[in-house]
């Protein structure tokens, strides 16, 4: 167990270092003088020189990389070339919005996905399974931004049930906050639900065919307890796996969803930065995403090995 975790820790650390190198080199791959790109509007020689000094654009590459890592570790990701606000501050404002959206979407995905997955496994070969499969396939094929447009068109603009766009902080008005996030969470959650559904179904089918289930059934355990207990346990593993595997999809999805619903989150920050060629912000966004992905996946593996003892054993063996 410890050997497995140590190895995963080492692998994650290595990947993290490689990711910082990619981001670092990405900025140097910008066409033209990076100092010019980082300066944005202010192009007078003095501010250019200040930027060169701050990022060390004239230093040897290795030293530049060292400065970049040291600055990043101290939470200094530079300043927006448009607003002059530190990138870290922008992230602190944007990330909570996106995290809330992500958590709500996951909740939607789990409720729909696990429910439909269990139904499909238990009712194998009956219309209910067919319907659940069809819905999952549809969920995989409908672009979430299009679903968003349609929901806005009919539920927000047409029926007036939900606000079409905008955001209210939770601390200001919790109910209005949730009201604004219902549609975005549905849009982002349904695509994930399809993935959760497929995983849940296959792990349920596997569990239902296992010997211990037959034994439990032979001992007279009712179907409710049988499915409830084992479905729950299996779904836990599935959900943890999904969080790790789908994190990238969740981030990408959040960018699109925030754009459609006008949420002031991480995605909006990212897109604004690209269209305004705000390179320090782009660099910060990419760095934070990659680091978050690597760290979350390490934590997922950690949780996974705690939930499922087989992983620990298999991990220790190799």
Total count of residues recorded for the chain: 318
Site string for other proteins, 96-125 (x = CB under 8 A): ----------------------------x-
User: Is 188 an interacting residue with respect to other proteins (CB under 8 A)?
Assistant: no
Q: Which is nearer to other proteins, 292 or 307 (CB)?
A: 292
Choosing from 1, 49, 61, 157, the residue that interacts with other proteins (CB under 8 A) is 157
Radius of gyration of the chain (CA): 24
Q: How far apart are CA 187 and CA 3, in angstroms?
A: 41
What is the smallest separation between the CB atom of 230 and other proteins, expressed in angstroms?
Answer: 18
Choosing from 56, 96, 115, 249, the residue that interacts with other proteins (CB under 8 A) is 249
List CB contacts of 144: < 8 A, sequence separation 6 or more. 187, 188, 190, 191, 253, 256, 257
In DSSP terms, 63 is beta-bridged to none
Structure tokens at 192: 């994930």
- Cα distances (Å, whole numbers) of residue 89 to 83, 84, 95, 160, 253: 11, 11, 10, 35, 23
Q: Which is nearer to other proteins, 170 or 264 (CB)?
A: 264
The answer to whether 253 touches 98, Cβ cutoff 8 Å, is no
Give the three-class secondary structure for 265.
coil
Choosing from 256, 299, 300, 316, the residue that interacts with other proteins (CB under 8 A) is 256
* Contacts to other proteins by CB under 8 A: 11, 14-15, 18-19, 22, 26, 29-31, 124, 137-138, 140-143, 145-146, 149-150, 152-153, 157-158, 198, 201-202, 205, 247-249, 251-252, 255-256, 259, 270-271, 273-275, 277, 279, 282, 285-286, 289-291, 293-294, 297
């Amino acid at each position: 167990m410890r050997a497995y975790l140590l190895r995963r820790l080492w692998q994650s650390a290595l990947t993290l270092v490689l990711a910082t190198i990619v981001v670092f080199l990405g900025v140097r791959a910008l066409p033209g003088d990076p100092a010019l790109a980082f300066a944005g509007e202010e192009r007078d020689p003095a501010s250019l020189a200040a930027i060169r000094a701050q990022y060390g654009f004239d230093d040897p590459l290795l030293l530049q990389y060292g400065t970049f890592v040291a600055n990043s570790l101290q939470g200094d990701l530079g300043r927006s070339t448009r607003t002059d606000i530190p990138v870290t501050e922008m992230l602190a404002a944007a990330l909570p919005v996106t995290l809330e959206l992500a958590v709500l979407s996951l909740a939607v995905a789990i409720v729909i996905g696990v429910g439909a997955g269990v139904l499909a496994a238990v009712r194998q070969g009956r219309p209910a399974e067919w319907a659940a499969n069809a819905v999952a396939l549809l969920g995989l094929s409908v672009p979430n931004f299009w679903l968003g447009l349609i929901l806005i068109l009919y539920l927000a603009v047409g029926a007036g049930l939900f606000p079409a766009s905008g955001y209210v902080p939770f601390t200001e008005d919790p109910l209005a906050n949730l009201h604004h996030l219902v549609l975005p969470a549905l849009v982002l959650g349904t695509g994930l639900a399809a993935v959760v559904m497929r995983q849940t179904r296959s792990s349920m089918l596997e569990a239902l065919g296992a010997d211990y289930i037959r034994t439990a059934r032979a001992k007279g355990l009712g179907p409710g307890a049988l499915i409830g207990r084992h479905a729950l346990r299996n779904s836990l593993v599935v959900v943890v796996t999904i969080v790790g595997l789908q994190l990238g999809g969740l981030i990408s999805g959040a960018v699109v969803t925030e754009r459609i619903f006008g949420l002031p989150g991480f995605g909006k920050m990212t897109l604004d930065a690209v269209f305004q060629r705000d390179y320090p912000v782009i660099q910060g966004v990419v760095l934070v995403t990659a680091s978050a992905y690597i760290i979350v996946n390490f934590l997922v593996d950690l949780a996974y090995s705690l939930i499922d003892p087989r992983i620990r054993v298999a991990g220790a063996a190799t």
